[in-house]
Structure 1
């Protein structure tokens, strides 16, 4: 169905969320209609953050908000839904729009399969009533579902539209750009060259895909890399766990700005433990590029300042390849927890492939390499 129809049927005045490629039609509609607007549309750091923000909107206005997200974010909403929104607590009504990645019967990437299987049940188990919108769902059925949802919302309960593949469409286009000059895939190639045979833990999305293809192009083994194909925001914590237990090995983490924002508390924990063998490279394009390009707030934040405040002994920002190569080389030589923020353009190759090895194969090969390295 047309996203404009769904928005009209819902009749809400405020949307907040974390972008999802399955909800690209909605995301682009919101950006074209509102942009980032304090009164109507805010892109938050993670899905629990969105839920709490939306609760504040309801408390201040008495109007029902909408939270949008990929189903991978359901884990992040469980606590605020169960202990804040639930009708046995504060009875705060809310409408969720959830992109259904890994929907049973539809091919998807491995990190989405199990999440897809439990998507609807998990929502219903935490008290959220659901209705599924597929590419052939009649608009009248959505109208009827919303009529039933209003009765539920009036009782201080929560509802969700689960959107399957091609469930929403939008004819408008949005172009997401910035003024940075470095391309992420080339940044990763420079990191790989300096890291040599050091282990690399890479964040989810296109970064992991580009790291995989860099190894292919170089004729190198994939055993050096752990590709965090899911669990957005947790790559740096995985890297911390490895660095603390492989103290004689230089450990690299390739991260993204959206991932950093999603679980920023990890930086404080990393800084407090301060492993002197960890190099944390944050590729910052100010966008949720893998799921469509919608902006993050990282383009305007002082990431270096945050890192230093968290206890990183070395933190720098680079904007060109000469600076990048210099800082990568220095980080490789020194002892001391390091963060390198790399300002990056938005965009990737249209023919960018996906890993051809399974997640289990990646884990086994990486563990074997890591544990035989020293």
Structure 2
């Protein structure tokens, strides 16, 4: 079995000091180490953990994700449509529950058979983590070489690989909403394009704009293509978690996340994670047109959800329902002055800009120039 503390210190020596994940009994000792000795964000689900770790990478950190193999399926979207096209490398540890030949719970049987096949299909380099300390350190060196050339690398971890590592007392924080406003007026329903022009016009040289996948990112590109813009091209629902990872690790930046109703509803658990870790330099703007505009205008269920109250209940310091672009500008200006994790909700009209094009810059180029901007 591996000495967990020595293994963790070797990871730290190689620069891996930021972790995110979802617990698994096979990985509990490494998780305990990461909580005790490094920065660890407990994600609501494994896909969010990948996005959080990816945001931290954008901010200059070498990131690790920890998960059970059942959760690997939850990561397929971000690993294939965020990390792959943007060339964002993360180091992963995934447990091998349901390993063939060992007794385990019935829900792990199939995943135990196909875990490594899933990694192969996603073109992710991987190895079984050795329980020998010397060999495991050699494996880490090899994994680090792949990370340094922007390739993710995963270790598949068998039962009883890590020696016991006791969890020190965790501080349990309580964050409560301090300011909330509800609907009080007529919704003017501006277009998304005009709304993005207002948001873009208020950024400065320490602002990063992150636009959710689909037409939001495409319209922001047409408003202005800029080194401090990031246009999601997939990984629907992950933009808030990506923003959390960047904002949490780079408190000198103003991180503005532009979300959509369909996107947020897909991974609404991320609100609870954002609210708990409370990056005061993050502004989360939801543009709600109540449809999946990028895929044909099918209805979402956002009309039946009070997302302002949900964000407030999840611990966002401020949560505002606004009705027009003037109020949007006022809220953004206030946030720039006072900061604090803030959620802004605005209903917009359906539809998009006519003859809408697509970004001419590739996702990997977007990442490279954004990292250059951040540095």
Q: TM-score, normalised by structure 1?
A: 0.51
| 1:194 and 2:202 matched | yes
Find the aligned partners of 1:207 and 1:180 in 2 and give their Cα distance: 19
Where 1:201 maps in the other structure, the secondary structure is strand
- 1:183 matched residue in structure 2: 191
- 1:297 matched residue in structure 2: 301
Structure 2 unaligned blocks of 5 or more: 1-46, 48-75, 81-97, 99-105, 108-117, 123-186
Does the 8 Å CA contact 2:308/2:320 hold for their aligned counterparts? Answer: yes
| 1:331 and 2:335 matched | yes
- 1:123 matched residue in structure 2: none
Find the aligned partners of 1:73 and 1:326 in 2 and give their Cα distance: 34
1:273 to 238, 261, 277: 277
Does the 8 Å CA contact 1:280/1:340 hold for their aligned counterparts? Answer: yes
| 1:313 and 2:331 matched | no
The Cα of 1:356 is off from its aligned counterpart by 0.2
Find the aligned partners of 2:355 and 2:257 in 1 and give their Cα distance: 25
Where 2:371 maps in the other structure, the secondary structure is helix
- 1:225 matched residue in structure 2: 229
Q: Deviations over 1:291-316 (max 9, x none)?
A: 01111111231111000000000010
Find the aligned partners of 1:185 and 1:253 in 2 and give their Cα distance: 16
Where 2:224 maps in the other structure, the secondary structure is helix
Find the aligned partners of 1:72 and 1:289 in 2 and give their Cα distance: 20
Find the aligned partners of 1:275 and 1:285 in 2 and give their Cα distance: 27
Does the 8 Å CA contact 1:195/1:332 hold for their aligned counterparts? Answer: no
Where 2:319 maps in the other structure, the secondary structure is strand
- 1:215 matched residue in structure 2: 224
1:363 to 343, 367, 373: 367
Find the aligned partners of 2:204 and 2:290 in 1 and give their Cα distance: 28
Q: Deviations over 1:271-296 (max 9, x none)?
A: 00001110000111111110011111
Does the 8 Å CA contact 2:78/2:235 hold for their aligned counterparts? Answer: no
Find the aligned partners of 1:180 and 1:300 in 2 and give their Cα distance: 19
The Cα of 1:329 is off from its aligned counterpart by 1.1
- 1:341 matched residue in structure 2: 345
Find the aligned partners of 1:265 and 1:294 in 2 and give their Cα distance: 23
Alignment of 1:22-33 (within 5 A): none
How many residues end up aligned between the 2 structures?
Answer: 211
Where 1:195 maps in the other structure, the secondary structure is coil
1:246 to 236, 247, 250: 250
The Cα of 1:250 is off from its aligned counterpart by 1.1
- 1:204 matched residue in structure 2: 213
Alignment of 1:127-206 (within 5 A): 181-197=189-205, 198-206=207-215
CA shift in 2, pair 1:118/1:268, >3 Å:
same
Does the 8 Å CA contact 1:194/1:332 hold for their aligned counterparts? Answer: no
- 1:167 matched residue in structure 2: none
Does the 8 Å CA contact 2:219/2:353 hold for their aligned counterparts? Answer: no
Does the 8 Å CA contact 2:262/2:291 hold for their aligned counterparts? Answer: yes
Does the 8 Å CA contact 2:78/2:234 hold for their aligned counterparts? Answer: no
Find the aligned partners of 1:348 and 1:287 in 2 and give their Cα distance: 12
Find the aligned partners of 1:300 and 1:73 in 2 and give their Cα distance: 27
Does the 8 Å CA contact 1:285/1:299 hold for their aligned counterparts? Answer: no
The Cα of 1:181 is off from its aligned counterpart by 2.2
Q: Deviations over 1:61-97 (max 9, x none)?
A: xxxxxxxxxx96999xxxxxxx9xxxx76xxxxxxxx
Superposition CA RMSD, Å: 3.4
